[in-house]
A and B are shown apart, each in its own frame.
Chain A
Amino acid sequence: MSDMKFERTARHAAAWMRAEAERVADPNAALARLMADESVEGGLDPALPEQAVPARRQRLWVGLASAAAVVAMIVGIVVVGGEQSEAPTLISPATTVEPTPATTPAPTTTPDSTLAPSTTVSPNPDPDVEAPLAGRGIAFVELAALLDVYGGSGIDHACVTDWRCTDLVFDITGAPISFDPTTGTITRHVRNGASFTLPSVDDFTYLVAGGPDNVVYVLQPSSRAESNDLVAYSLADGDAGREIARFPTSYGIGDGELIPSPNGLVTASPSQPGMQPAEIDEIAVPWVDRNGNNVSSPVPVVRADFSGITVTIEGRTWTFADPVEGAYPALRQFMPTFDGGFVGVLQHAADGRTAVVRGWSDGTVETWELPPEVGVFANLEPDRTGRVLIPTGERFIAAQLFAVRDGDFWTERRDFDNEAWTVTYPGLDDYLDANNPGWENDPIGFANALAGRVDSPAETRTIEIINSDADGAEIHVTTEGFLDDDSGFGSRLVVRLRATDQGYRVDQVDRTQACQPGRGHQDYQPAPCI
């Protein structure tokens, strides 16, 4: 199309749209409606906190931030302890992230048809189990039928309106954190996990991320109204709900999502054809610890190229055809897994066809397409164990859609010393020397391999790097929510690894456990439950 024809088409379409708007707008009726709305009070709200800072000064800082090209869309003023600091502090650009080294594209495998779910999943006619969306014709009941297939995660899912339901994110350790919009409650779903209730919630409050040091990031409308604030709250036991920092941000214009990275949240935009996030080295909102200091965290960096699809995580690359041909690009939907792979959810922007993609540590890819009668569901959430959490209107189902691969775990003998509370793995070193599995070079993958697969949908696994240097690493692997054990609730492996030329090797593995309620100690101790 020539420039002239394009401009003519655009101008004509604009005139047509203006005429359409004139026809439907009815400004006088709309004004009367606003004036009749008793919940809306006009005028200047004297409680607006930022009035303490002259608007002109705020605009200056905003303008400087833009000029510095920190992030064109996102600027901020750090506030610690809930009060605005006297001297606004610009969010400084974070350290540059090295570009991903070129890697050979991994081979693509044909989707395993045996993984396809049964297409006999049928709507449950029982009206008692219909979810709130049923009234609008969206039957979560169809999703609830999957509960029998996969099992519940133990995390509730609730809706205020037909499009306002529980948000779910996973923090750095892989722990699920939910925001229930019906109550305003944010909960970290682990043993002794904290929760708190936001003082106010509206339609635009939403959970963005769980960061390091038990800090959670929530998007809330700013009292300035022209933008949102990203608010960092403590989610630590005894301290939960304390506001740590507030980042005024115009997040939302243009760049669609905030993605965790080692130094904070970065913007990811589909506006650059292909690769996203476009500029992962530009930190939009830095991680803060509970004292408000900037911190880093070993968050895996995910990139995806949607022309065809190439996913790159920490130097590993998977290339595959888009299973839904025209997927809506959303980087948040790609979750690195503990076993060195990823789970991604791809959804078509127009017709809602949805597929879940599993990348394995050996570079292969499998695909699971949703049965058509189930249709699209909101907020499918992949977790770090490789499962997908499916909302039903009542609860999240934890679906292990892909057969776990033995090669990603140590499946041979393990000996438990119930006096010393240690675990040994006879034959492990020989196995590593002979087979060199990918996880022998990855402390998280190594610790995950020793802990074994997650058995039931109600189990949650978190992995925390306590320390890691050139000599070795200490990793804590916690698996909890045991349904079949009426005594133990969870177990934790304290894995100490030493680095060798061939990869990591085990120095020592200690074991602790926490008991079911009423069956002994509730924290992790090297002691039996009753």
Chain B
Amino acid sequence: MAFESFFVSEQPRLVAIALGWSGDVHAAREAAQEALSRAFRDWGRVSALDVPEAWVRRVLINLLIDQQRRQHRDQVLVDRLGPPGLVPAPVHDDEAWWDAVRALPDRQRAVITLHYLEDRSVREVAEILEIATGTVKATLSQARDRLRVMLVEEDLR
């Protein structure tokens, strides 16, 4: 498989995952770029994998989690130092839904993002994250429960 075609086909999907994850367009594009850059550096081996798409998603999610861990407190500070009103409240249900997803723990967020955003089956999500299908099912169930609660609370505001 040519790397260029892999890149052009995967990049928008990776940006979507990263955007769903972080909500930051710039950070999403950079995370996707870094994941694809790592694929490029090791393309000889990545392209020989059964599912290179799963590999690059795993890299992306690890990058997002690492980045999130490092940036968490600084980002909190930036948010806090910003003048009131700089961060608008969600204007429609879609944004509210993704805001709720971003409040989930990492694993639940990864599972929800892959399952809904990418329409991945439980088995595919398990392969991408290298976890058991039972774990995916349980995590999906926990995430749905949490999202339901959060979205209802949002409705009540």
| Chain A residues proximal to chain B, CB less than 8 Å | 1, 6, 9-14, 16-18, 20-22, 24-25, 27-28, 30-31, 33-34, 37, 40-45, 48, 51, 55, 62, 66-67, 69, 72-73, 133, 136-138, 162-164, 203-204, 206, 224-228, 250, 252-256, 269-271, 273, 328, 347-352, 375-379
Contacts and interface: CB of A to CB of B under 8 A. Distances in A.
Max chain A C-beta neighbours (<10 A), residue from B59, B97, B135: B97
A226 B139 CA distance: 22
Interface string B128-157: 011110010001001010111001100000
Contacts of B29: 24-25, 30
B81 A22 contact: no
16 contacts: A17-B19, A24-B19, A24-B25, A27-B7, A27-B12, A30-B32, A41-B41, A51-B45, A62-B130, A66-B130, A67-B132, A72-B135, A252-B66, A253-B107, A255-B107, A352-B79
B139 to A, nearest CB: 7
B4 A31 contact: yes
Q: Which 7 A-B pairs have the closest CB atoms?
A: A254-B107, A44-B44, A21-B16, A352-B76, A13-B97, A25-B12, A16-B94
Contacts of B33: 30, 33-34
A63 to B, nearest CB: 8
B41 A45 contact: yes
B19 A20 contact: yes
A137 B66 CA distance: 23
B11 A25 contact: yes
A137 B74 CA distance: 11
Contacts of A40: 37, 40-41
Nearest to B102: A349
B37 A34 contact: yes
A14 B117 contact: yes
Interface string B116-132: 11010000000001111
Report whether over half of chain A's contact residues are helix, strand or loop; otherwise say mixed.
loop
A446 B135 CA distance: 45
A53 to B, nearest CB: 13
Contacts of B63: 204
B138 to A, nearest CB: 10
A252 B62 contact: yes
Contact of B105 (A45, A224, A269): A269
B15 to A, nearest CB: 4
Interface of B: 3-4, 7-9, 11-13, 15-16, 19-20, 25, 28-29, 32-33, 36-45, 49, 55, 58-59, 61-63, 65-66, 69-74, 76-81, 93-94, 97-98, 103, 105-108, 110, 112, 116-117, 119, 129-132, 135, 139, 142, 144, 146-148, 151-152
A24 B73 CA distance: 27
Nearest to B71: A163
B33 to A, nearest CB: 6
Nearest to A73: B131
Contacts of B9: 27
Contacts of A45: 41-42
Given A43-B41, A72-B132, 18 more contacts: A1-B151, A6-B144, A10-B116, A16-B94, A17-B16, A25-B11, A25-B32, A31-B7, A31-B11, A33-B33, A43-B44, A55-B49, A73-B130, A203-B70, A252-B65, A270-B105, A271-B105, A352-B79
A138 B81 CA distance: 8
A34 B77 contact: no
B118 to A, nearest CB: 8
Given A37-B37, A271-B139, A14 B19 contact: no
Contacts of A162: 74
A322 B72 CA distance: 20
Contact of B11 (A17, A30, A72, A253): A30
Nearest to B50: A59
Given A6-B147, A376-B77, A34 B36 contact: yes
A73 B131 CA distance: 7
B141 to A, nearest CB: 11
B131 A66 contact: yes
Given A34-B7, A379-B73, A12 B80 contact: no
Given A225-B42, A226-B62, A12 B16 contact: no
